[in-house]
Amino acid sequence: MAYQNKIELENGNVILYTREGAKKLIYHMRIYVHGLTDIAGNTKQYITESTRESNKDYAIRAALDRYEEVKANKRYGIPTDSLTFNQVFELWLEDKGKALQTKRREWFIAQNRRYWTEYFGAQKLDQMQPHDFASYWDWRNTYWHRFEKYGKKKPSVAVYKPSRKTLTMEQGALRQVFVYASSRSLSSLKFDVSLIQHPQYRMSKKYDDERRPSFSQDEWTVLDRYMRDVWVEGKGKDDSRCNVLHLYQRQLVRRLVQLIQCTGVRVGEAINLRHRDIEIIQDKEGTALVLQVDGKTGKRNVISLPTGVRYYKAICELTDHSEPDDWVICNKDGTQYTGYEHAIRLLLKQVSYRNRNLYIADNGKTRSLTSFRHYYAEERVRASKGNERILQTLSVNMGTSRLMLDKHYVDKILVGDREGLTRYPDR
């Protein structure tokens, strides 16, 4: 490429020029500093950038400033190129992602592929402005509307507007990536985490229970009977188009609900169970299931309530797939069942309870499959009557800390229950 209007500075280490045939006269710069490398450690001979200036004097000043910046970056080991979000994410994944559990790592990769690459991907971190972060949340909230507008089909498990909990999880994940960039000097900007904050985020959670709501004993009884007598039989008012496959999936979801309600496992832990992970035991306490789960807090054994044995046998009879490597919660063809979120929403919206449905709780929050884990925990805490040994065993069984058990369940059920403060324990 022929240089036009060439100007040499700093003994030829900085060259200013304009491009031949360009519609607008803009000065570009070519900078040389001995020993330059790119982010991957490969030798880099030159840095070539635009000064964005058409005035020669301003262009010279911009080029010399950039030359001093490149020398300083080289001296302190800071990348000389401005990295894009995609490049930083790959570095973060290679460095910090190794320590994540497989499912958590896959979640980060999926979020990046679906949302972050499309919005942040090609943007250079050094050029990001506060409005780039603020605008992301509006873009994210309307993502699936735009997706369908362009003729694409939204997955059944996706919701048009993500919940506050979902956005908070995404906010925390993005903060990890940007803070990593700042701590490793991968950007000249120092990212304040308050920049990466969605509008619905609540700074103080002192008086706000972030959990999805549970069920009362009465609500659970109504729901359990509705599933048994109406839902799985296809007798609901909107069930005229139910076919055999729908009824099979409803039976499966009913058993999944019961499995979580009698074990307290997380949804992902239940969905990822294979038959080799389940054992039926008989001891002095009676018959129960022992589940070997691998989830958020690692591998652990979970002991079910006695009813778990009956629920598990019903699942085996329903699916007719009970070989050791078969999925427990599976489609008719033996593949893993993943449509549970949509099915649960429809189920809970069908169940009438005191002039409303069970999808929306009294506090206005929506319920999900995780609500049955909360119901299990609350019922077990009530049954413990505050016995410390039982509560410690419960926290281990649920794969949570004793501190979190107190915060979310014990303080609510026992401490918040006036009768619990005055009632004598059973003798």
CATH of the domain at 284: 1.10.443.10
Report yes or no on 406 lying in a domain: no
Total of domains in the chain: 3
> Given this model, what pLDDT does residue 421 score?
36
Q: Are residues 161 and 273 in the same domain?
A: no
Q: Are residues 128 and 268 in the same domain?
A: no
Report yes or no on 410 lying in a domain: no
Q: In the chain, pLDDT over 70 holds for what percent of residues?
A: 90
Contact between 287 and 303 under an 8 Å Cβ cutoff? The reply is no
> Given this model, what pLDDT does residue 427 score?
34
Answer whether residue 293 shows pLDDT above 80.
yes
Work out the angle at residue 265's Cα, subtended by the Cα atoms of residues 260 and 267, and round it to the nearest 5 degrees. Answer: 75
Report yes or no on 93 lying in a domain: yes
In total, the chain counts a number of residues equal to: 427
Strands (E), 134-285: 278-283
Q: Are residues 71 and 157 in the same domain?
A: no
What's the one-letter identity of residue 43?
T
Measured in Å, how far apart are the chain's first and last C-alpha atoms?
Answer: 93
> What contacts 24+ positions apart, CB below 8 Å, involve 199-207?
199/137, 200/164, 200/167, 201/164, 201/167, 201/168, 201/171, 202/164
Answer whether residue 81 shows pLDDT above 50.
yes
pTM: 0.58
Contact between 60 and 7 under an 8 Å Cβ cutoff? The reply is yes
115-129 mean pLDDT: 86
Q: Are residues 362 and 235 in the same domain?
A: yes
Task: Name the residue with higher pLDDT: 20 or 382.
Answer: 382
Report yes or no on 276 lying in a domain: yes
Report yes or no on 204 lying in a domain: no
Q: Are residues 99 and 184 in the same domain?
A: yes
Q: Are residues 248 and 190 in the same domain?
A: no
Task: Name the residue with higher pLDDT: 210 or 146.
Answer: 146
Of 34-43, 64-73, 341-350, the least confident: 34-43
Report yes or no on 94 lying in a domain: yes
> Given this model, what pLDDT does residue 267 score?
92
- Structural domain boundaries, residue 287: 217-381
User: Distance between CA atoms of 174 and 5, rounded to whole angstroms?
Assistant: 44
SS3 268: helix
Q: Are residues 254 and 162 in the same domain?
A: no
Report yes or no on 324 lying in a domain: yes
Answer whether residue 189 shows pLDDT above 70.
no
> Exposure string (b/e) for 255-281, b if CB count within 10 Å is 16 or more?
bbbbbbbbbbbbbebbbbbbbebbeee
Report yes or no on 425 lying in a domain: no
Q: Are residues 28 and 66 in the same domain?
A: yes
Q: Are residues 46 and 115 in the same domain?
A: no
Of 345, 365, 381, the one marking the end of a domain is 381
Closest Cα to residue 164, out of 129, 183, 137? 137
Of 100-109, 110-119, 302-311, the least confident: 100-109
Alpha-carbon separation of residue 296 from 103, 105, 214, 266 (angstroms): 8, 11, 20, 8
Contact between 335 and 298 under an 8 Å Cβ cutoff? The reply is no
Q: Are residues 377 and 264 in the same domain?
A: yes
The residue assigned the tokens 């496959």 is 245
Answer whether residue 204 shows pLDDT above 50.
no
Bridge partners, residue 53, by sequence: 27
Answer whether residue 62 shows pLDDT above 50.
yes
User: Distance between CA atoms of 340 and 359, rounded to whole angstroms?
Assistant: 14
Q: Are residues 256 and 352 in the same domain?
A: yes
User: Distance between CA atoms of 14 and 66, rounded to whole angstroms?
Assistant: 10
Write out the two tokens for 392. 């410690």
Q: Are residues 367 and 332 in the same domain?
A: yes
